[in-house]
Amino acid sequence: MTPALSARGVRKRYGDLEALRGVDLEIEPGEVFALLGPNGAGKTTFVEILEGFRARSGGEATVLGVDPERGDLVWRSQLGIVLQSAGFFEQLTPDEAVAHFATFYPNPLDPRRVVDMVGLADKRSSRCKDLSGGQKRRVDLAMGIVGDPELIFLDEPTTGLDPQGRRQMWEVVREFTRLGKTIVLTTHYLDEAEQLADRVGVIIAGQLVEVGTPRGIGGRERALARVTFALTGNLAGRPLPETGADTATRDGRVTITTATPTAVVAVLARWAEANGEPELPALAVSRPSLEDIYLAMVEAADGGEGREGDDA
Amino acid sequence: MTALPASPAEFRPNAPGRLIRLSLERTRIEIKTFFRAPDQVFFTFLLPVLFVVIFSTIFSGEIEGPPGVEKVEFSQYFVPGMIASGIVSATFASLAMTIAVEQHDGLLRRLSGTPLPRSAYFAGKVGLALFTAFVIVVLILAIGVVFYDVSLPTDPKKWAVLAAVFLLGVATCSLLGIAYTRLIRSSSSAAAIVQPPYLVLQFISGVFLQYSQVPPFLKVVAAAFPLKWMVQGLRYVFLPDWVAVDDYGGEWQVERVLLVLGIWLAVSFVLARVFFRWNRGYTG
């Protein structure tokens, strides 16, 4: 199958600054791909190159089979772009703005239905200038999808939304996924990437350092589990049993890092029982979250790397 | 809504029917948006009205021609200049400033991410300018006729020239305003960059004074720009022929006025295509 999007060795240089240092990526049709990375890492530059808003300094790219630098209006008609902060039709209502954008496309969705989909049914007749930041974000999304695009670029779609608004946005994204559309998403919310994305990619200092599923990225699936509990009550001051795993005690809290958490908990439970404490106080078994993995990657890469100036 | 989705291959984004439909849609949205900002509406139409009132009140005298001809009231004399000035402010000045704002706040980027043809965006801007310029001309003439004894032409040929100069002037100055946005680096500096050339040209093109009073070397400069020719064509429409002797050395040269404006229209079209940028953030 032809990929929906492909980048090979994509570079971007601003004077002496290398904002992108050769990014390779392929995204399949129907895939939801989330791009993560700290501010200034080159995420926005990369996406803008794919959207045809910026020229690249080197490498190859195709989006829906077309080089974005040569993308014409037919190509544009198959793309939906939801920008992070773009000028607004302050004086129009959501209905008017979305219906206006619908006229640009050969086969648009019903604009009123799109306004409903993004959860603005009760604001459809208010001027956009009177909407809240989160409501404007929904209008952004509605304008981006009303053309019924094959591929949607979403630049931080839920920034500024309340939890309920975020879930509603996610539903809209999922609805497009069910229709087989391809979605490229940038976000700072790792739970969002985990909820929506089939794969995530992490850009740090102009390079795509990792690509994988939200569950598997950075060796997360194979990562060791942590068993923690508190040394309180009858357990205070007792010597710990032998578990064969890496154990650390700090401020009365024990952390055991292990590949076999079930066996460790069994040993601990017997030990606690024997010491007159049938319940292990504050017991928790956890695996590193996507956020832990991501932050570890960012920290590992941190230090002396070039930063891009105008990337937000 | 069409029943069957057209495949991308069947979609012709620059088909004439689509361009016309989208140009009208853009114009409709531009006019709608314009009227929803009352302060903008007020000041767009207030300025030309004030000019007419102030000029007609301050210069209440007459211009004497050669013996035996009818004198011309100042209020009549300045009507063509006011109309030309109104056209330039509704087109060049207003478009350069509003487009600069749209360029810098990202609205243009948003539009450029859609299959909207650039020409339809231009058409919407020109459509709005045409509309506001028309209202301004009607206001100037109405106030002049009702309060200051301005007389309208009776010769149909003069009305035709008025229409031609109006349309050529609106189209040319709109396109120049679009091209001029290239010089504007931020939306806050827009007014400061747009006003000077337009004010200077108004003076040397004889909008605020008799063209015979403009020094010859400045007349050469003025003749290189469209405003002088718009004023000349409009003076033909509203003033007796003897004024042409004083101001333009003999004849009104209406054919030449239309020819120069036609050339300027073509030039400004090219300038707009070359200099206009959808996206100021774009670094090629």
Contact A86, B110 (CB under 8 A): yes
Residue B184 pLDDT more than 80? Answer: yes
- Least confident piece of the model among A121-125, B57-61, B175-179: B57-61
Residue B282 pLDDT more than 90? Answer: no
Residue B106 pLDDT more than 70? Answer: yes
Domain boundary among A219, A246, A267: A219
Question: A13 in contact with B at a CB cutoff of 8 Å?
Answer: no
Alpha helices per DSSP H over chain B? 16-35, 38-58, 74-77, 79-88, 94-105, 107-112, 118-147, 156-180, 190-204, 216-223, 226-238, 242-248, 254-275
Residue A309 pLDDT more than 80? Answer: no
Pick B25's closest partner by Cβ from A86, A103, A147. A103
Query: Mean pLDDT over residues B11-20, rounded?
Result: 91
- Least confident piece of the model among A10-19, A170-179, B243-252: B243-252
Domain map of chain B by residue range? Answer: 15-275
pLDDT (0 to 100) of residue B198 = 85
- Least confident piece of the model among A19-28, B3-12, B170-179, B189-198: B3-12
Question: A66 in contact with B at a CB cutoff of 8 Å?
Answer: no
Residue B68 pLDDT more than 80? Answer: no
- Least confident piece of the model among A23-32, A207-216, B159-168: A207-216
Q: How many CB atoms lie within 10 A of CB B19?
A: 15
Whether A204 and A245 share a structural domain: no
Residue A102 pLDDT more than 60? Answer: yes
Q: Which residue range(s) make up the domain with A18? A: 5-219
Amino acid at A220: R
> A143 contacts in B (CB within 8 Å)?
110
Structure-block tokens of residue B15: 């088909």
Whether A187 and A249 share a structural domain: no
> A72 contacts in B (CB within 8 Å)?
13
Angle (CA) B47-B53-B59 rounded to 5° is 125
Structure-block tokens of residue B143: 């106030």
C-alpha span between B106 and A83 (Å, rounded): 9
ipTM of predicted assembly, 2 dp: 0.84
Whether A268 and A144 share a structural domain: no
pLDDT band at A225 (very low <50, low <70, confident <90, very high): confident
Q: How many CB atoms lie within 10 A of CB B254?
A: 19
Whether A182 and A198 share a structural domain: yes
pLDDT (tens digit per residue) in B213-238 = 888 888 888 888 999 999 999 999 99
Between these two residues, B58 and B267, which has the higher pLDDT value?
B267
Tokens 């010859």, located at residue: B216
Minimum CA–CA partner of B280 in chain A: A53
Which bin fits A37, alpha (ψ -120 to 50), beta or left (φ > 0)?
left
C-alpha span between A95 and A111 (Å, rounded): 7
Whether A56 and A150 share a structural domain: yes
Query: Mean pLDDT over residues A88-100, rounded?
Result: 91
Minimum CA–CA partner of B5 in chain A: A107
CATH number at residue A9: 3.40.50.300
- Least confident piece of the model among A97-106, B127-136, B159-168, B217-226: B217-226
pLDDT (0 to 100) of residue B9 = 61
Decide if A96 and B2 are in contact by the 8 Å CB cutoff: no
pLDDT band at B67 (very low <50, low <70, confident <90, very high): confident
Decide if B115 and A14 are in contact by the 8 Å CB cutoff: no
Phi and psi torsions of A60, nearest 5°: -120, 145
pLDDT (0 to 100) of residue B41 = 87
All residues at 6 or more sequence positions from B16 whose CB lies less than 8 Å from its CB, including other chains = none
Decide if A74 and B13 are in contact by the 8 Å CB cutoff: yes
pLDDT (0 to 100) of residue A86 = 67
Minimum CA–CA partner of B21 in chain A: A103
C-alpha span between A86 and A82 (Å, rounded): 9
pLDDT (tens digit per residue) in A228-272 = 999 888 888 888 888 888 888 888 899 998 888 889 999 999 999
pLDDT (0 to 100) of residue B3 = 40
Whether A133 and A235 share a structural domain: no
pLDDT (0 to 100) of residue A108 = 95
Residue A311 pLDDT more than 80? Answer: no
pLDDT > 90: percent of chain B? 41
pLDDT band at B132 (very low <50, low <70, confident <90, very high): very high
Whether A81 and A9 share a structural domain: yes
pLDDT band at B7 (very low <50, low <70, confident <90, very high): low
Pick B1's closest partner by Cβ from A74, A92, A110. A110
Contact A68, A50 (CB under 8 A): yes
Question: A15 in contact with B at a CB cutoff of 8 Å?
Answer: no
Q: How many CB atoms lie within 10 A of CB A193?
A: 26
Contact B87, B230 (CB under 8 A): yes
Decide if B32 and A74 are in contact by the 8 Å CB cutoff: no
pLDDT > 70: percent of chain B? 95
pLDDT (0 to 100) of residue B8 = 54
Domain boundary among A219, A252, A267: A219
Residue B52 pLDDT more than 90? Answer: no
Average pLDDT over all residues of chain B:
86
- Least confident piece of the model among A102-111, A136-145, B185-194: B185-194
Contact B144, B52 (CB under 8 A): yes
pLDDT (0 to 100) of residue A303 = 55
C-alpha span between A267 and A253 (Å, rounded): 17
Q: What is the DSSP string of B148-202?
A: S-------HHHHHHHHHHHHHHHHHHHHHHHHHGGG--SGGGHHHHHHHHHHHHH
C-alpha span between B113 and A243 (Å, rounded): 59
Total number of domains constituting chain A:
2
pLDDT (0 to 100) of residue A310 = 42
pLDDT (tens digit per residue) in A149-180 = 999 999 888 887 888 888 888 988 998 899 89
C-alpha span between B218 and B204 (Å, rounded): 6
Query: Mean pLDDT over residues B49-73, rounded?
Result: 82
Residue B281 pLDDT more than 60? Answer: no
Question: A286 in contact with B at a CB cutoff of 8 Å?
Answer: no
Question: A55 in contact with B at a CB cutoff of 8 Å?
Answer: yes
Number of CB pairs, chain A paired with chain B, less than 8 A apart:
98
Q: Evaluate whether residue A302 is within a structural domain.
A: no
